[in-house]
Structures are given as C-alpha cells and as structure tokens.
Chains A and B, each alone.
Chain A
Amino acid sequence: MMLQEVIDIVKVLVFPGFLFFSILGLLYEWIDRKFYARLQNRVGPLYTGPSGFLQPFADFVKLMAKEDVVPEGAEKPIFSAVPVFALALSLFAVLFLPVYGTRGIISFEGDIVVLMVIMTLFVVLIFLGGISSASRYSEIGSERAILQLLGYEIPLVASVIGAAAVTVKANPSLSIRGIVEAQSGLWSIFGIQALGFAIFLLAAQAELERTPFDIPEAETEIVAGWMTEYSGKKLALLRLARDVELAFLCGLGATLFLGGPQPVFPGAAGTVISTVLFVVKSIVVLLILTLLRAAMSRLRIDQMVNFAWKYLMPLSILQLSLAVLIPNLLAF
C-alpha cells in the first residue's frame, strides 16, 4: 500500500506527470520554433545547447530572473494569480493523458468532459488576465480571446465527442481509456474521424492562439494582446503554461485519433516503447500544427468567427452525426 502511494507520487510529480510534460513542453517549443524557422528558410534557435535545443529553457530561466512590473491600475490579486492558475491547470490537464498504458494517471468515466472544462477555463483565465491589466491592448486581446472561444469551442467539443463515438460499438464510454482501448485495432483517423481530426487540429490551433488564429495576441496590431503587461516571472509562468498546453493538445490529438500509446506491451520495455510511440505520434500532430502556422497568415477576428460558425460548426456537426450514425447503421 505504502509502495503504491510512493509510485503514484512519482508518477504525478515526475513521470509521466508534471516534470515529464514540462520538459516535453519545452522540447515541443524548440521543435516548433526550429521547424517553423526551417520552413521560412531561417536557422531558428542555434546557440544554447546542441542546435539551440536548450533555448526554450534558457528563455524560461531568463524571464524568471527578470524584474517583474505590475502596471498601475491593475487588479493585482487577479493579475498575479492568473499565471499561477494557468500553469496549474495545464499541469493538471496532462495527468489525464495515457502516456504508456491505456489510462492516464487520473482516469474515470467522463474524464473527457473534464478536459473540455479545463480547456474552457484556460480561456477564462486569459480573459481575466487581460482585463485585470488595465491596459487597452490587453483588454482588446482578452475580448478577442473570448470571441474566438465562442467560435471554436463547439467544433472542438463535437470533434472530441465524435472521437468518443468509436466506443459505441463495443463498450460505449466517454473516458479516454475507453477511446484508446477502442482503437487497439484501427486508429480513429482511418475513417470518418479523419474529418474530426482536421477539425480538432484547427480548434487546437485556435485554443493555442497560433497563426492563423493568433488574433488575441496579434503582435502587429495589439502589441502582445492580453499578455502585453505581463513581465518577469509571470510571463515565464504563462509561457511555460502555454508550452505544457501545447504538449497536452498534441498528446490529446494523438490519443483521440492516432491510437495514443497503442500498441501497448507489458513490462518495462513495453513502457519505453509505448512512451516513445506516444511522443512520436504527438510530435506528428505538432508538426502539422507548425505547418499550419507557417502556411497561413492571421485572420481578422470577424473572419475567424465567420469561418468557425459558417464552415467549422456545420462540418463538425456533420462529422459527429456520421460518427454516431455509421456504427449504428453497420450494426443493422
């Protein structure tokens, strides 16, 4: 009993919990920046560590050691609490991902709904952070974040529920475990869920506020959007939270549509193989997201909301209907 508790503590704090995903987040930021730079015929991070590998970590430490200024007029408690809560939320979310087995550290029936809540809360935090800064740029950024959320939230939910529809045939479930187990034969992406995967990628891009949906922090228009007034350790925490969220969403995409860590093998060697598979699959998702970022330019907020409600929403409802209907029709 005691040993089990120690193992669980190590799982939560080290692997596959907080430390693992923090490192993975920084690694993904490096991969993202490097790949993005190569696509633009630049070299990207170069000097810190081999091929600039340690640059995201160096940026984090540098920001931590910088002076932290709270602007006048800001609501200090909310302004200061937002980065702490943002990092805590991202770290909490990764505990649901199955890294080497079919279940995450936290797993129960309906956990996918909790993940939806966490993703929504992240945007609420962004809103609070921006609005409490008492700056025009921040306020515009946070209002845009909320508007954008109104656009992509329902397609995101529909794509995730569509992914859960693969469990209908055998054992209906709304848990990540059920979804991963249902993909032991064929991955969800090979079928109608290919559309769901595309919708998920677009919604994830919007959730992460990356081009073409980087409207809330559009640097050429509103400085850094809702993050304009953040500096020092607060900015460091926000950036780390963003990196962990990036790793989380890539992992979630890999879990829901690419079979997660499947095939799962028993034993220590199996753990290593599954972990490597999980990381490789989530890097594939990351590379697609980076490609999208490099290939497109920023939309205006009205274009984004229009696109989301006129095209993304009907498509997501279509894929959800097909995902639910097709297994039922095949059963007849």
Chain B
Amino acid sequence: MDSAITIPIVSFVIALIISALVYGWGAKIAPKSKLLPGKAKPYACGEEVPAEIVPLTLHLINFATLFLVFDIVAMVIAFALLSPKLLADSALLIAVYSLVVLEAILLLARRRW
C-alpha cells in the first residue's frame, strides 16, 4: 500500500508548503523594500501610464468558452476511441477537468477587474 505522502492532494500541499518556505527564505535574505516615489509605478518606458487593471474583453471569454467545449469534446471522443471501458473509468476525471476549467472561466468572466 502507498504511503499518505503519495496521495496527490497531500503531495500538492507539501509542494505548496515548500514553495512558501522558499518564498519566506527570500523575504528573510532580501533587503526591506524602501518605497520611493516612482519605484512602485508600473513599468512604462518613462511614459506616464496610470496603474489600472483594465477589464477583459468579453470577446476573449466567448472564444475561451467555445474552445473549452471543443477541448472537452475532443478529449471525450479520444477516450471513447481508445476504449469504451476506459471512457467509463475516466468519466470522473473528465468531469473534474471540465469543472475546474469552467470554474476558472466563470471566475474570470464574473470578476470586475
């Protein structure tokens, strides 16, 4: 039997903790940030460009959603071609994949950037 550490979600959390530790180590050895006027301004090659998060174009979201449908369909067809049994076995994974990507797109669409 495999140990708990080889369960995907546990491994991911450990990877996350290690990344956070590396990040923390960087915070320790780096000098404290001294904010001078202009330093925190967005990089704009010397031009005066205000820092603002511009809303996404809806066109891209529509395109992305269409792509998502196409992608999922392509995967389902591919799985079915490989083996009908495999399709039944992997149905949950495909469903999870679809939900994750759909959720990401919905988040992006809803958020007022």
> A residues touching B (Cβ–Cβ < 8 Å)?
4-5, 8-9, 12-13, 18, 64-75, 83-85, 87-89, 91-92, 95, 105-106, 109-110, 113-114, 116-117, 120-121, 124, 127, 131-139, 143, 146-147, 150, 153-154, 157-158, 161, 164-165, 168, 172-174, 223, 228-229, 232-234, 236-237, 240, 320, 324
B20 touches A72 (CB 8 A): no
Whether the pair B26, A237 counts as a contact (CB closer than 8 A) is: yes
**B-side contacts of A87, CB under 8 Å:** 15, 19, 22
Q: Measured between C-beta atoms, what is the minimum distance from A58 to chain B in Å?
A: 14
List the B residue with the shortest CB-CB distance to A228.
B43
- Residue on A with the closest CB to B108? A127
Partner of A5, one of B3, B43, B64: B3
Chain A residues with Cβ below 8 Å from B51 are 71-74, 134-135
Could you tell me the distance between the alpha carbons of A121 and B14 in the complex, rounded to whole angstroms?
A: 18
Considering the complex, give the chain B residue whose CB is closest to the CB of A165. B82
A9's contact among B5, B16, B74, by CB below 8 Å, is which? Answer: B5
A173 to B2, CA, bound (A): 20
Known contacts A8-B5, A67-B33, then 12 further A-B pairs from the complex at CB < 8 Å, ordered by chain A residue: A66-B30, A68-B27, A72-B41, A73-B51, A91-B19, A105-B11, A110-B89, A139-B53, A153-B67, A158-B78, A236-B26, A237-B26
Q: Enumerate chain B residues within 8 angstroms of A233, measured Cβ to Cβ.
A: 22-23, 26-27, 30
Q: Are A114 and B104 in contact (CB under 8 A)?
A: no
B46 at the interface (CB under 8 A from A): no
Distance A13 CA – B3 CA, assembled complex (angstroms): 14
Give the Cβ gap from A159 to chain B, nearest Cβ, in Å: 11
> What B residues does A236 contact at CB under 8 A?
26
Distance in angstroms between the alpha carbons of A96 and B63 in the assembled complex? 31
Shortest distance in angstroms between B78's beta carbon and chain A's nearest beta carbon? Answer: 4
Inside 8 A of A154's CB, which chain B residues have their CB?
A: 70-71, 74
Q: Which residue of B lies closest to A168 (CB)?
A: B82
Q: Give which listed residue, A65, A105, A139, A143, contacts B6 with CB less than 8 A.
A: A105
Q: How many residues of chain B have a CB within 8 Å of chain A?
A: 65
Shortest distance from the beta carbon of A40 to any chain B beta carbon, whole Å: 27
Q: Contacts A91-B18, A114-B93, A135-B43 known; A106 to B54 CB distance under 8 Å?
A: no
B40→A70 contact, CB < 8 A: yes
Q: Are B100 and A172 in contact (CB under 8 A)?
A: no
A-B contact pairs, 21 of them (CB 8 A): A68-B33, A69-B33, A89-B15, A92-B8, A92-B12, A106-B6, A133-B42, A134-B42, A134-B53, A135-B42, A137-B43, A143-B56, A147-B60, A153-B71, A161-B75, A161-B79, A172-B86, A174-B82, A234-B23, A320-B78, A324-B78
On whether the beta carbons of B53 and A124 are closer than 8 Å, the reply is: no
Instruction: Please judge, given known A-B contacts A114-B93, A146-B64, whether A120 and B101 are in contact too, CB under 8 Å.
Output: yes
Looking at chain A's contact residues, the main secondary structure is helix
Min distance, Cβ A180 to any Cβ of chain B, angstroms? 17
Are A88 and B16 CB-contacts (below 8 A) given A64-B30, A232-B30? Answer: yes
Q: Which residues of A contact B54 (CB under 8 A)?
A: 136, 139
Task: Tell me if B94 counts as interface (CB < 8 A to partner A).
Answer: yes
- Would you list which residues of chain B between 1 and 39 have a CB under 8 Å from chain A? 2-6, 8, 11-12, 14-16, 18-20, 22-23, 25-27, 29-31, 33-35, 39
Assess the B30–A88 pair: CB atoms within 8 A. Answer: no
Is the beta-carbon distance between B113 and A131 smaller than 8 angstroms? Answer: yes
Q: B58 near A: Cβ within 8 Å? A: no
User: Within the complex, what minimum Cβ distance (angstroms) separates B65 from chain A?
Assistant: 11
